Structure 1
């Protein structure tokens, strides 16, 4: 059975000629159904590029990506958008909130656009879990950066998508809220792919995949914050010594 997110020999090269930069160099990996995977590595290792290619937001230079059982190669933008709308949610560093809408309206917006009826009980629970129960009527301009990030996370979780891609989802959050959000991600019956630089955040994942120079160099099941930090330190020394 094909994994919900499957990369096969994926390469991504930016530019041409002597100035070309290889961001991904033959990555093959399947993110299993219901798994929570953290993607880590030194700066410039290709983490965000992997996430963007896996989510169909960027096209690989070579190789194949399957998302929710569908091969992405050759799909037009309309088909890609529909595929993501049906199966995928995102949490990115840019919050992309609608300034004229309230917290609750922002959280249910993807469902509204898709013509789906929100599950009110679940929406209320998600908003509660990210610590925004007292802020549902506020607009983004009335919230701090951390609170806006919580809205973005609640929006991603409200639709119960089969797959969630998250790029540094807890970077703007305090320690307590970050822990609550990561615990919620762990509990969800969905496939989560999270890029992070934080060993504590990575310790909530089932598995950590480590990238160096666009290649997967190791993976760590059942990670702890200390074991992840040690691996990152070793990989950084390797990168510097090359």
Structure 2
């Protein structure tokens, strides 16, 4: 899969010059585009390292998203077409697997994700965007289920891996990380702060052996401001996916 993701991608893919936008609309656009663009960039990092040439060669590309935010996906499902599928001319079918033990707390109508209308070009080329919803299961349970589909990349956006107490005293990450690293597929994680990423990486390295392919401030982070209620002394304002890290098992 050929991916060339640049910092100007948001403007180019939206066919809109950022100079013609006000700051509020631009911030909203970056919030929508951040996950697919960061995923595309992470896979680009992985392929440049050439760790496993078996991944991403076919016309079907599968993304696992651990701890997925269903409401975010329902509000803007076409973002995966605009900011990922359009960057990948060789992909015919893009499958996004959303995995969360509490995926749909608001009881949103799930059929909305199955009715995504693609652009005319993708429709003429018979391309597809498929969402697979895995609600009420851990990644370990999904991995061992009949519905499991092998991923080309695994993502977890702002998971706070070091904060195991966030999972009601049950830390799913040890088993999750072991399954992911055995795949030898790229694993993308993001965080709100540099300090949080360092804590997450330290925690991960205590559990599994992995190679860090890249750790950096994310050029495709959202610029929509969020309040920090957990560590406002560290950083009072937050930006989604501010830091990214791409790792792989070996």
The normalised TM-score by structure 2 is 0.37
> Which structure has more strand as a fraction of its residues?
1
